[in-house]
Amino acid sequence: MIENSMAISLRYDGSVNRMQIDKIYVLTKLISEEGRPEKVFLGAAEPECRGAEVLLEAVKSACNTTLDRLSDYFEVLHHL
C-alpha cells in the first residue's frame, strides 16, 4: 500500500507517562494510486534524550518497524 502511494506525509505525536518517559507515535497520511487519502500507523519509539537529531532518529526507528528503509520513500514523501 505505501509502496504504491502517489504522496506520503509523515506525522508524529508524543506523550509522556507517569514515569516521565517520552514516547512518540508515527503515522502517515498517504494518497493511494486511486486518489483516496488513507492513514497508516507506522510505529512507536522512545527518544533517549531531547533534541531535534534525537527526535529524527526516533521517527526513523519507528518507521523501520513497518518500512524496510525510510529513504526508499523519499520520492513520494512530501512532508516530514
Tell me the domain boundaries of the chain: 2-75
User: Which one is predicted more confidently, 66 or 47?
Assistant: 47
User: Which one is predicted more confidently, 5 or 73?
Assistant: 5
Task: Report whether pLDDT(79) > 60.
Answer: no
3-state secondary structure 2-58: HHHCCEEEEEEEEEECCCCCEEEEEEEEEECCCCCEEEEEEEEECCCCCCHHHHHHH
Joined grid coordinates for residue 47: 527518544
Task: Report whether pLDDT(6) > 80.
Answer: yes
26 by Cβ neighbours in 10 Å (0-12 / 13-18 / 19+) ranks as: buried
> How high is the pLDDT of residue 49?
75
> 9-62: per-residue pLDDT in tens?
888 888 877 776 678 888 888 888 899 999 988 888 887 777 777 777 777 777
> How high is the pLDDT of residue 37?
93
